[in-house]
Chains A and B, each alone.
Chain A
Amino acid sequence: MTTLMINGEKRKVNASPDTPLLYVLRGELNVMTPKFGCGLAQCGACSVLMDGEEIRSCIYPFASLVGKEITTVEGLPARWQKQKNLPDDSERLHPVQQAWVDEQVPQCGICQFGMMIKATELLESNPRPSDDDINTAMTSSGPSPHLCRCASYAAIKDGIHRAADIIATESKTSNLKQAVSHE
């Protein structure tokens, strides 16, 4: 038996060690937002964060990820609240998710879990990405472009810019709160 760190929790896994993380998450651990799209690292539907870096869970044997911090869309709100020292709030979404709601980004939505993971990776290193930065992140930074068949790309761009706005506002408030509490 192996232990994985998924969304801040230790999870025991029984699967055979060559099983890709995607099958472990969905089949054994009931973490369902990473989706099966191609199983070939060609689309990004299965993306998760590994220590903050976007990877394709459909091709990574889970046993190679022991000791790594895995985050899926289920874990994004807690990740944000921890990063910003915010109180636990199960209703509060990660800025990227909130932006996806505000901008009504999804069409069918199947690709959006991977899109939100990639957007989170981008915004954590670059809180004010330009259109070009977004193009690079979504097209050429990973093993393949992140694909959306519904072609909601324009909305995804709007979503990322909106998320950057939310992050800027929430960071200001949380910095302010921290400054106040340190006084």
Chain B
Amino acid sequence: MSELQQKDDMDKIKVSPTDMNIHGAKLTRRGFLGGAGTLMVSLALNPTLSFAKTKSSGHSLNATLPASWIEIHADNSVVIRTGKCDFGQSSIYTAYRQIVAEELCIPVESITSVISGDTDRTPDGGGTFGLLRTNVLNLRKVAAYTREAVIALSAEKFGVKKEEVTIKNGVISAGTKKTSYGDVVSKQALSLDIPVSGELTEFRGLVVDGEPPLKAISEYSIVGKPVKNPIVRPKVSGETTWVGDVKVPGMLHARVIHPATLGSTLIEAGKVNKTKYPNTQVVVVKNLVAVVSSDEYEAVKAAREISSTTKWTQWEGLPTSEGLEEQLKTKEKWTDVPPIKSGATKGDVNAKSAKSLQHDYFVPFHKHAPIGPTVSLAEVKKGVITVHTHSQNPQYLRMAIAKMLGEKEDNVVIRTYAGPGHFGRSNGGNAGSEDEAAILAHTLKVPVRVQWMRHDDMQWSTQSSAMHSNIRIGLSDDGKIATYQAVHSGPPMQDDRPIGAILAGLDTISPPTPDNPFRVHNAGLFIADTWVYEQVENVAETGRGMFQIGQHESPIGVGLRDHSMRTPIQFQQNFPREAAMNEAAALVGKDALQFRMEHVKEPRFKAILETLRNESGWDTRPSPAKTAKSDGDQELRGRGVSIMLRDNGYWACASHITVNPSSGVVKVERITLVCDPGIVVNPLQLKRQAEAGCLMGVSQTLHEEVAFDKGKITSMDWFSYPILKMAEVPTVKVVIAPDKTAKIYGQGSESANALVASSIVGAFYDATGKPIRRIPLRPNYVKQALA
């Protein structure tokens, strides 16, 4: 909306003397309606005024209206809307409902639906990350504005002062007078304009401004309850429509034939055998080759055949997965991207110390590896492109699709559905198939569904960045850390370019560069693992970034594309720090848990470490264990510990494992996780999240490494990219021990996912007396470490 138009609208709205200022939001009334027949009446009836400056107004909700976020019906049922999506975290269906119900002072059951993700049906945009950290603040503030407006209206109706009105369990009262949300909103035509800022289709979306009074935490009664996730039942009964289930009349099924290597260009696409595949055609847009058919299995078969006759140029430009560690350690020059120092850097790390250690650590590339490969359906109707998909940042995807097709954002709608968890891969909008579906639907003028096959998802999606770290620790005579120095080096965190757009030679945002003003898309490597050992006087942490591996060398600018996963960069940096801490403790003959206790200052850390000691049955003693040895085919036992600070949440983990030196097999027997995440919104969901997050960490620690040769990723399926299986699952004990004075909502699964790796390698050292400084703990690496 132009400023002129906005002024025009402002003129049309006469602020009448009955308008109210609700903590900076404007409540406008336009007369009374009858009480009857107003079942769908919501708080805002007149969406005429917009203060939001946003590029996308067509097919968007007006975020200045509370009804775009929270819709209260005359029967007291409530609908909430959020641009965030669910990937298995459950937060938008559990914690979000609890937090909004808490602010409105209504039972959580009154919030009967949550509309999420769809760009034409949700107001805010932004990515699905930090759900309880920053994102829920929008809805919480809107709820607070709404409650304050309803209190003001009720006070007026009762003829009392606002201060005399209370709301409890949905009942609004003052003395003996009573009313309800439904009553208040159904009899009037109301409009409450709330202040918002930001850009709808930018990475972080819109932010609700102002400071409406938030309910005091001491008065909470819904936050903290183990509310069940209402979408579980429709999911397990089979009622939920999943992204791959969406069908529209006349749609075609596509399989994409991706290039032979990450740098190949098309020489010639294979031809369709029309006798065998009568309903099939090949579509070529530059280097994007697709096989399209009205019959899905025909498309699968034809694609297999055509792919073997499609000719690509050959390309080599990757260091190979075997050579990656060496590449990062000795071959990269680290001159392209300015290094970044962490805020914890202080003192003189070159100060002399009695003992010291200095080691290299390595985390390989990991795959997000959703169980269902990415799938999307796109259709073009009356100039509007609709993409049915599963995305963690649908408004940002909308921007990317519009940019790619040279369309206005107004003409793009993203609809979202339940889909496989992919742990951050689409927090910049796309997971892979969305843009390819849009290009094909745009080209063919019919709806097209693109389903990636398992190998497409393994070979053509982004991956979680690899990291090489050098850690130097100096220890004083009394066995305390005198100096800590870390240099973390690796490729950038996030490439949000849609792959189909790159292949088709269409417009995209830039890949990560050293000068990108947006941190997430900058090639610089920041320190994501918050420093926790405050007793240490001399600290230096440096991140060294680079361009994505192979991207510059690739004629199509692809290479190994990086993308944040679960605990991005912090996973990669916590592993070396905590692994080195275990080794430092051993060097001075101290117990690894006690050693940490001596180096933290924060009482919350001390408290969880003490709880961990008790809950895990920790035997306080230095590592290695008395039984430790590095050969033989006995199972050797060991235990290790690690800690992490993330999103103001304090986490500690103990792993008990066995190592069989002659087979190289590592088994994790049990894990104890203690967390003080802050305010626990939902202990039931937090426990399940932490448990699963932690087990995914075990999977990464034991099995996962993306394999690639000089031209392509060679991890193609679940044999070449194995993950954790049921028989390998340890007992997981999750202890939730929140600090009662915390003022911040606790996040769940990320830290649990990230800190388990370092406790396992600590346990490995304890069991064998030999350190392992890389993951995964596959038999071949284990044997090398023990040799």
Residues of A within 8 A of B (CB): 15-16, 19-20, 23, 26-27, 32-33, 35-40, 42-43, 45, 72-74, 77, 93, 97, 100-101, 104-113, 116, 134-136, 138-140, 144-157
Binary flags per residue of B726-754, CB closer than 8 Å to A gives 1, else 0: 11110110000000000000000000000
Given the known interface contacts A33-B238, A107-B88, the answer about A153 and B371 at a Cβ–Cβ threshold of 8 Å is no
Given the known interface contacts A32-B238, A108-B419, the answer about A139 and B727 at a Cβ–Cβ threshold of 8 Å is yes
**Binding-face segment, B596-604, B660-668, B684-692:** B684-692
B692–A150 touching, CB < 8 Å: yes
CB distance from A149 to the nearest CB of B (A): 5
Chain B interface, >50% SS class: mixed
Known: A32-B242, A36-B375, A147-B718. 20 other contacts (CB 8 A): A20-B297, A35-B244, A36-B451, A38-B717, A42-B719, A93-B237, A106-B236, A107-B421, A108-B88, A109-B236, A109-B418, A138-B726, A138-B727, A147-B723, A151-B692, A151-B696, A151-B699, A152-B688, A154-B691, A157-B729
Distance A113 CA – B685 CA, assembled complex (angstroms): 20
Chain B residue at minimum C-beta to C-beta distance from A41: B718
CB distance from B451 to the nearest CB of A (A): 7
Interface check B268, CB cutoff 8 A: no
Q: How many A-B residue pairs have CB under 8 A?
A: 174
B724–A151 touching, CB < 8 Å: yes
Interface check B87, CB cutoff 8 A: yes
Contacts of A145 in B (CB 8 A): 725-727
Given the known interface contacts A104-B229, A108-B88, A110-B372, the answer about A155 and B688 at a Cβ–Cβ threshold of 8 Å is yes
Contacts of A23 in B (CB 8 A): 296-297, 300
Which residues of B in the span 222-259 have a Cβ within 8 Å of any Cβ on A?
228-229, 232-233, 235-238, 240-242, 244-245
Contacts of B296 in A (CB 8 A): 23, 27
Interface check B153, CB cutoff 8 A: no
CB distance from B555 to the nearest CB of A (A): 31
Binary flags per residue of B368-396, CB closer than 8 Å to A gives 1, else 0: 01111101000000000000000000000
CB distance from B231 to the nearest CB of A (A): 8
A154–B695 touching, CB < 8 Å: yes
Which residue among A19, A104, A108 has the maximum number of chain B CB atoms within 10 Å of its CB? A108
A37–B236 touching, CB < 8 Å: no
B454–A40 touching, CB < 8 Å: yes
Question: Which residue of A33, A93, A100, A151 contacts B695 across the interface (Cβ within 8 Å)?
Answer: A151
Contacts of B295 in A (CB 8 A): 15, 27
B726–A139 touching, CB < 8 Å: yes
Contacts of A154 in B (CB 8 A): 691-692, 695, 729, 731-732
Given the known interface contacts A36-B451, A155-B691, the answer about A106 and B724 at a Cβ–Cβ threshold of 8 Å is no
Distance A93 CA – B271 CA, assembled complex (angstroms): 49
Residues of B within 8 A of A (CB): 86-90, 228-229, 232-233, 235-238, 240-242, 244-245, 295-298, 300, 369-373, 375, 418-421, 451, 453-454, 684-685, 688-689, 691-696, 698-699, 717-719, 723-729, 731-732
Contacts of A100 in B (CB 8 A): 232, 236
Distance A93 CA – B236 CA, assembled complex (angstroms): 9
Distance A156 CA – B372 CA, assembled complex (angstroms): 19
Contacts of B88 in A (CB 8 A): 106-109, 150
B229–A73 touching, CB < 8 Å: no
Contacts of B698 in A (CB 8 A): 151
Contacts of A20 in B (CB 8 A): 297
A116–B718 touching, CB < 8 Å: no
B242–A152 touching, CB < 8 Å: no
Contacts of B694 in A (CB 8 A): 151
CB distance from B685 to the nearest CB of A (A): 7
Distance A65 CA – B762 CA, assembled complex (angstroms): 51
B245–A32 touching, CB < 8 Å: yes
B692–A152 touching, CB < 8 Å: yes
Distance A76 CA – B780 CA, assembled complex (angstroms): 44
Contacts of A32 in B (CB 8 A): 238, 241-242, 245
Given the known interface contacts A42-B717, A144-B718, the answer about A110 and B297 at a Cβ–Cβ threshold of 8 Å is no
Contacts of B238 in A (CB 8 A): 32-33, 72-74, 113
CB distance from A6 to the nearest CB of B (A): 13
Contacts of B684 in A (CB 8 A): 104
A153–B726 touching, CB < 8 Å: yes
B236–A35 touching, CB < 8 Å: no
B370–A149 touching, CB < 8 Å: yes
CB distance from A125 to the nearest CB of B (A): 17
Contacts of B370 in A (CB 8 A): 108, 110, 149
Distance A128 CA – B168 CA, assembled complex (angstroms): 46
B373–A36 touching, CB < 8 Å: yes
Contacts of A16 in B (CB 8 A): 297-298
Chain A residue at minimum C-beta to C-beta distance from B697: A151
Question: Which residue of B419, B696, B723 contacts A110 across the interface (Cβ within 8 Å)?
Answer: B419
Distance A83 CA – B42 CA, assembled complex (angstroms): 48
Contacts of A97 in B (CB 8 A): 236-237
Distance A139 CA – B729 CA, assembled complex (angstroms): 11
CB distance from A107 to the nearest CB of B (A): 3
A108–B421 touching, CB < 8 Å: yes
Contacts of B240 in A (CB 8 A): 109
B235–A106 touching, CB < 8 Å: yes
Contacts of B420 in A (CB 8 A): 108, 110, 149
Distance A20 CA – B692 CA, assembled complex (angstroms): 32
Chain A residue at minimum C-beta to C-beta distance from B368: A149
Distance A36 CA – B244 CA, assembled complex (angstroms): 8
CB distance from A77 to the nearest CB of B (A): 8
B717–A149 touching, CB < 8 Å: no
CB distance from B89 to the nearest CB of A (A): 8
Distance A20 CA – B297 CA, assembled complex (angstroms): 8
A112–B236 touching, CB < 8 Å: yes
Give me the 4 closest cross-chain CB pairs, A-B, nearest first.
A107-B88, A151-B695, A108-B88, A108-B421
Contacts of A150 in B (CB 8 A): 88, 421, 692, 696
Distance A151 CA – B725 CA, assembled complex (angstroms): 9
Distance A144 CA – B369 CA, assembled complex (angstroms): 17
A153–B688 touching, CB < 8 Å: no
Distance A35 CA – B390 CA, assembled complex (angstroms): 15
Distance A72 CA – B245 CA, assembled complex (angstroms): 15
A104–B236 touching, CB < 8 Å: no
Distance A47 CA – B558 CA, assembled complex (angstroms): 36
CB distance from B274 to the nearest CB of A (A): 15
Contacts of B724 in A (CB 8 A): 151, 153
A37–B237 touching, CB < 8 Å: no
Distance A144 CA – B454 CA, assembled complex (angstroms): 15
Distance A145 CA – B725 CA, assembled complex (angstroms): 6
Given the known interface contacts A36-B244, A37-B372, A110-B419, the answer about A147 and B725 at a Cβ–Cβ threshold of 8 Å is yes
Contacts of B719 in A (CB 8 A): 42
A149–B696 touching, CB < 8 Å: yes
Contacts of B229 in A (CB 8 A): 104
Contacts of A27 in B (CB 8 A): 295-297
B726–A101 touching, CB < 8 Å: no
Distance A17 CA – B685 CA, assembled complex (angstroms): 45
Chain B residue at minimum C-beta to C-beta distance from A107: B88
CB distance from A138 to the nearest CB of B (A): 4
20 A-B contacts, Cβ less than 8 Å apart? A23-B300, A35-B372, A39-B453, A40-B454, A40-B718, A42-B717, A101-B232, A107-B89, A108-B418, A109-B240, A112-B235, A139-B725, A147-B723, A147-B725, A149-B369, A151-B699, A152-B688, A152-B692, A153-B726, A157-B726
Contacts of B728 in A (CB 8 A): 139
Contacts of B298 in A (CB 8 A): 16
B723–A149 touching, CB < 8 Å: yes
Distance A104 CA – B236 CA, assembled complex (angstroms): 10
Which residue among A33, A38, A113 has the maximum number of chain B CB atoms within 10 Å of its CB? A38
